[in-house]
Amino acid sequence: MPHRTLEWSSLWTIAQRELGEALRNKWLWFYAVAFGGLALALSQAGVASAGYAGLGGFGRTAASLINALLLFVPLMGLSVGAGALAADRERGTLLYLLAQPVSRAEVFWGKALGAALAVLTALALGFGLAGLGLAPTAAGNVAPFLGLAAYSLLLAFVSLGLGFILSALTKRAATASGAALLLWLGLVFAGDLGLIGTALTLRPTPAVLLTLLLANPLQVFKLAAIYSLRATLDTLGAVGQYATYRFADQLPLVLLALLLAWIVVSFGLAALLFQRRAL
Amino acid sequence: MRRRLVALLGLVLGLAAGLPTVVGAAPSAALTTVLVVSPQGPFTTLAAAVQAAREGDTVEVRGGVYRGSLTVAKTVRLEGVGWPVLDGGGQGTVVTLAAPDIVFRGFEVRGSGSEPHLDHAGITVTAPRVVVEGNRLRDVLFGIFVAQAESAVIRGNTVTSKDEYDLGRKGDGLRLWYSPRVLIEGNTVSATRDVVIWYSSDVTLRDNLVQDGRYGVHLMYCDRVTIERNRLVNNSVGIYTMYSSGTWVRENVIRGQRGPSGYALGFKDADNVEVTHNALVDNRVGVFLDGTPFTPQSYSRFEANVLAFNDVGVILQPAVHNNTFAGNAFWENVEQVGVQGGGQLERNQWQGNYWSDYTGFDANEDGRGDTPYHAERTFEHLTDREPRLRALLYSPTVQAIEFAAAAFPIVRPQPKLTDATPLVQPPDVAAFVQPTPGGERLGLVGAGLVALGLLAGGLAVWRRTSPGQEGHATMLNCLPRDTAAAVAVRGRGITKTYGETQALTDVSFEVRHGEAVALWGANGAGKTTLIKALLGLIETDGVIEVEGQPVGQAGKAVRACIGYVPQETAFYDLTVDGTLAFYGRLKKVGAARRGDLLARLGLSEHRRKPVAALSGGLKQRLALALALLANPPILLLDEPTASLDVAGRRDYLALLAELRREGKTLLFASHRLDEVETLADRVLILDEGEVMAEVTPAELRRQLTSPVTLSEWLTPALDFEVE
């Protein structure tokens, strides 16, 4: 029987090991517990406010939840991704693994699948615990909650892919982690600050601002998350209204497609780099 | 002629039918008559019945569909029973009520014309004191149009416009034009353009529901208007008042106004405004004020309202002043108060409101905060200056900016407003505000997500056990291209360059089956690079074949023929068993084979130990066990005993010698003579990436131990020569 380049059994074996190792990583559980607790606390605060007025809505509590997601999820994805290849390379296990009858593609995609499952585990448990915590109060709608969870998962995969790119480019785990932190800062803060400066000085049109926003996967997630909670982006002012006008009913599909594109491109680029890079 | 006869007959029959139902005497002592219209008669058309009716009579219409437009020019009561339908057939206005004191009740009116400049409507009222009550209007451009008709009552009607048009092209659901003292009560107006009240004073709107339209209520040049207990839901704008004096807005619920401006309440150049006990929820803007109050001696008061979950609670133009906000609850609006274009609002009164973002305290427990509330968020200041920056709302950057402003007060903007006595508890919300429905099996979803998380995590330990996998080995076998070939490994002109460093230069060699060949050389001679090349881990120039298969194209198949033992063992954080199982699964090796290898290499008693707890010798044995998992014909070893002590090296070499006797092909890097002498048939001497010579181990020994003369002047008694 010929040896295929991508064999599921080898890929899955590597994925399982990667998943097992990721689940033994205390940082992953820290992210899961911290995020779940935060989501629960913020949601409870939202419930408390809804209980006051019986009015529910999209105020600062929901904004805080999106804020927390924008901070935690990329950090989790980037750090898990950045360590996936670089740490193995540094301790020599990657070389030894590649000396076995496996292809580089099996190693890469196995590691990617394992890391993705680890992130899925953490997020599902975090959101699940938040949902269970909210259940007794019987407040909040299911669809937006699930939408937020699904988009968070996509954002986690995007950041995981970006982390894999860094991991493929670096030899040492510490270097990869540092680069991941820098990228996180760039995505979370630097990009937005640049956007603020641009808006105040150049006063670009809403179309240009929207384009700049959509270049940042975190902002794409934000737009998608707000849309899933509100079914409109008009809360974001002229840019949100322009997005709704420009894409109409296709808007959620556009945002979903962008996130998926980020996932495909980031993992694809990481795979290419890993394939070509010398050990 | 025939029509006239039919009409005459209808009149006679109608009178005959009506006679038995003559109702009590009118105040004027005149009898009122009920004329019945139905598909079965006595009247079969409304026009005929109306024509036949006298002032004050009642025309009762019992079911049926009546086509064409109807104009009523005498004071009658038109009562529908069983929802008779008046269908205009898409032409003009369906019903025109052109006499005072007409009562029009219980009809379904549909099918008006579609010309907005001709005001095609379901019902047009042009006379005073008309009552339009309990009708259903659909597929009409305008709904009910009251034109220069005072004191009308529009009550309990349901109005929708033509579905085929967008909001701007639809007509108004209700429209008052120079019509004072009108009562609009208990109507439901859905998906029409506006409810318009222009040039009409002393109007009351009460208990209406206006939804999915453009302007919930639009007032212009209307004085003394009362708007109370209405619900305005999902319109573009809630209530917008222009150039009017005396607007009293109380106990309304205005939710989800999210058009381009999205004001729940907007006032432009309005005087004497009182807005109390309203709930303004989830709108783009709760209250918008422009030039209000307009004249210096007038007032504008907003008291005891709830402004919750709006994008902006209140927006004021910078020049607006003399408004009072007292006792309101500003609850979780994304921006509590905004100033369009930036600026301060100190010329308005902010007293005793509840602010959900107030961070002060109430030490004396009087219900009022002991420190003032300041609206001074830096990002709000930025969005007031550049509204398009709202696109960055909900981003952590916003919090970072606020944090920076708190840490460095010099960059903090001037507060937009100050409430010196903020409430520390929100006021009660009026009972008329209906709670948001919520709670749709969230617990179930949460449990489902937890289960999903556990399932995903559980995949780490899930194994699909099958006989082929665990019981009987179906190993990932080496598949030689030519089973009769004598050569196991062949290299021709192997060259590798790292940058400017030449790691291998034109290396050529062959290793035959069953042969043991040593790669001899100092550190940096190129041994490890050559081994990586043989494993297909680096790209090189030249040709490398393992079992007749080119390494470059068939790396995975090549590696199935090679058992590799690295110089420095590097294992994952697993037990001995776990490590063997992981690599065993990659090579499709069953548990029995793993057990045999553990026993053979003396690792059985250590199988449950973490690899990290093993000694260097045991780790090297484990590496050899892993290399032998799939019983490959070739073993490739990179200085296998470099990290072992003397005893460990002796045992390890014995193991390798045994494997060689069993027929394994050995290619190993070494710089230990004893190792080479024990195992090797031939030795390739590498130096700076080149093969300098190919010798036997004995020749190597001779080269390494060629006579050396050491001469030293010692004491005469110890003088000797060493060879």
Whole-angstrom distance, CA of residue B664 vs CA of residue B641: 18
Q: How far is A91 from chain B (nearest CA, A)?
A: 7
Which site among B354, B386, B392, B478 would you substitute to test the A interface, given the most A Cβ atoms closer than 10 Å to its Cβ? B392
Pairwise CB contact (< 8 Å): A222 & B388? no
What local confidence, expressed as pLDDT, does residue B342 receive? 65
Catalogue the long-range contacts made by B338-343 (C-beta closer than 8 Å, 24 or more residues apart).
Answer: B338/B312, B338/B314, B338/B380, B338/B383, B338/B384, B338/B416, B339/B315, B339/B384, B339/B416, B340/B315, B340/B316, B340/B384, B341/B317, B341/B384, B341/B385, B342/B318, B342/B381, B342/B384, B342/B385, B343/B318, B343/B384, B343/B416
Nearest by CB: B447 against A61, A128, A203: A128
Size of interface A-B (CB pairs under 8 A): 298
Chain A residue with Cα closest to B632: A101
Write the CB contacts of B393 (distance below 8 Å, at least 6 apart in sequence): A63, A235, A236, A237, B334, B383
pLDDT for B426 beyond 60: yes
pLDDT for B411 beyond 90: no
DSSP, collapsed to helix, strand or coil, labels residue B323 as: strand
A52 touching B (Cβ < 8 Å): yes
In a domain, residue A144? The reply is: yes
Chain A residues near residue B435 by CB distance under 8 angstroms: 50, 54-56
| pLDDT mean over B293-310 | 91
Chain A residues near residue B233 by CB distance under 8 angstroms: none
B474 touching A (Cβ < 8 Å): no
Nearest by CB: B556 against A5, A128, A137: A5
Pairwise CB contact (< 8 Å): B399 & A67? yes
* β-pair type (B225-228, B245-250): parallel
Chain A residues near residue B562 by CB distance under 8 angstroms: 99
B281 touching A (Cβ < 8 Å): yes
> Residues B106-153: pLDDT tens digits?
999 999 999 888 889 999 999 999 999 999 999 999 999 999 999 999
Pairwise CB contact (< 8 Å): A60 & B451? no
pLDDT for A46 beyond 80: no
CB B427 within 8 A of CB B354: yes
Nearest by CB: B433 against A2, A54, A95: A54
CB B119 within 8 A of CB B145: yes
pLDDT for B251 beyond 90: yes
Pairwise CB contact (< 8 Å): B393 & A60? no
Whole-angstrom distance, CA of residue A56 vs CA of residue A45: 11
A95 touching B (Cβ < 8 Å): yes
Q: Which of A35-44, B156-165, B449-458, B677-686 has the lowest mean pLDDT?
A: A35-44
Chain B residues near residue A145 by CB distance under 8 angstroms: 442, 445
Chain B residues near residue A36 by CB distance under 8 angstroms: none
Whole-angstrom distance, CA of residue B635 vs CA of residue B614: 23
Where are the alpha helices (H) located in B601-696, listed in sequence order?
616-628, 646-661, 673-679
B284 touching A (Cβ < 8 Å): yes
**Domain span holding position A239:** 8-276
| pLDDT mean over B362-373 | 90
What local confidence, expressed as pLDDT, does residue B555 receive? 77
In a domain, residue A147? The reply is: yes
Chain A residues near residue B388 by CB distance under 8 angstroms: 199, 203, 206, 209, 237-239
pLDDT for A276 beyond 90: no
* Bridge partners of residue B219, in order along the sequence: B197, B241
pLDDT for B665 beyond 80: yes
Q: What is the mean pLDDT of chain A?
A: 84
Q: How many domains does chain A have?
A: 1
Q: How far is B267 from chain A (nearest CA, A)?
A: 21
- In this structure, the number of other CB atoms found within 10 A of the CB of residue B211 comes to 18
Share of chain B above pLDDT 70, in %: 87
Pairwise CB contact (< 8 Å): A16 & B587? no
B713 touching A (Cβ < 8 Å): no
Share of chain A above pLDDT 70, in %: 86
Chain B residues near residue A136 by CB distance under 8 angstroms: 443
Chain A residues near residue B398 by CB distance under 8 angstroms: 67
Angle between helices A104-134 and A26-53 (to 10 degrees): 30
Whole-angstrom distance, CA of residue B399 vs CA of residue B377: 10
Higher pLDDT, B216 or B31: B216
What local confidence, expressed as pLDDT, does residue A140 receive? 55
Which site among B388, B537, B582, B583 would you substitute to test the A interface, given the most A Cβ atoms closer than 10 Å to its Cβ? B388
Pairwise CB contact (< 8 Å): B447 & A17? no
Share of chain B above pLDDT 90, in %: 37
A147 touching B (Cβ < 8 Å): no
Nearest by CB: B331 against A49, A133, A141: A49
CB B222 within 8 A of CB B201: yes
B468 touching A (Cβ < 8 Å): no
CB B331 within 8 A of CB B338: no
Pairwise CB contact (< 8 Å): B391 & A239? yes
Catalogue the long-range contacts made by A255-259 (C-beta closer than 8 Å, 24 or more residues apart).
Answer: A255/A220, A255/A223, A255/A224, A255/A227, A256/A154, A256/A224, A258/A214, A258/A217, A258/A220, A259/A151, A259/A154, A259/A155, A259/A158, A259/A217, A259/A220, A259/A221, A259/A224
Chain B residue with Cα closest to A186: B397
Whole-angstrom distance, CA of residue B413 vs CA of residue A185: 26
Q: What is the CA radius of gyration of chain B?
A: 48
Nearest by CB: B393 against A63, A139, A195: A63
- One-letter amino acid identity for A242? Y
Nearest by CB: B436 against A55, A123, A234: A55
Which site among A93, A96, A208 would you substitute to test the B interface, given the most B Cβ atoms closer than 10 Å to its Cβ? A96
> Residues A82-124: pLDDT tens digits?
988 998 898 889 989 988 888 889 999 999 999 999 999 988 9
The fold for domain B471-704 equals Rossmann fold (3.40.50)
Q: Which of A131, A215, A100 has the alpha carbon at shortest distance from B556?
A: A100
What local confidence, expressed as pLDDT, does residue A63 receive? 63
Pairwise CB contact (< 8 Å): A132 & B450? yes
What local confidence, expressed as pLDDT, does residue A44 receive? 64
Nearest by CB: A128 against B332, B450, B460: B450
> Residues B190-230: pLDDT tens digits?
999 999 999 999 999 999 999 999 999 999 999 999 999 99
| Among B residues 619-638, those touching chain A with beta carbons less than 8 Å apart | 630
Write the CB contacts of B416 (distance below 8 Å, at least 6 apart in sequence): B337, B338, B339, B343, B344, B345, B375, B376, B380, B381, B384
Confidence band (pLDDT; 50, 70, 90) for A42?
A: low
Write the CB contacts of B32 (distance below 8 Å, at least 6 apart in sequence): B22, B23, B26, B56, B57, B58
pLDDT for B718 beyond 60: no
Nearest by CB: B309 against A58, A66, A120: A58
In a domain, residue A103? The reply is: yes
pLDDT for B614 beyond 80: yes
Residues of chain B with CATH 3.40.50.300: 471-704
pLDDT for B345 beyond 60: yes
In a domain, residue A176? The reply is: yes
Q: What is the number of residues in chain B?
A: 723
Whole-angstrom distance, CA of residue A275 vs CA of residue A107: 10
pLDDT for A19 beyond 60: yes
**Residue A54, both tokens:** 């019986």
pLDDT for B92 beyond 50: yes
* Bridge partners of residue B189, in order along the sequence: B159, B210
Nearest by CB: A101 against B394, B439, B587: B587
pLDDT for A45 beyond 50: yes
Chain A residues near residue B450 by CB distance under 8 angstroms: 124-125, 128-129, 132
Whole-angstrom distance, CA of residue B296 vs CA of residue B702: 116
pLDDT for B439 beyond 60: no
Pairwise CB contact (< 8 Å): A239 & B554? no
Q: What is the number of residues in chain A?
A: 279
- The phi and psi torsions of B74 (rounded to 5 degrees) equal -135, 155
Pairwise CB contact (< 8 Å): A13 & B456? no
First vs last C-alpha separation in chain B: 152
pLDDT for B308 beyond 80: yes
Whole-angstrom distance, CA of residue B460 vs CA of residue B456: 8
In a domain, residue A240? The reply is: yes
Angle between helices A104-134 and A8-23 (to 10 degrees): 50
Pairwise CB contact (< 8 Å): B357 & A60? yes
What local confidence, expressed as pLDDT, does residue A49 receive? 53
How many C-alpha atoms does B74 have within 13 Å on its Cβ side?
13
Say whether the peptide bond before residue B42 is cis (omega within 30 degrees of 0).
Answer: yes
What local confidence, expressed as pLDDT, does residue B137 receive? 96
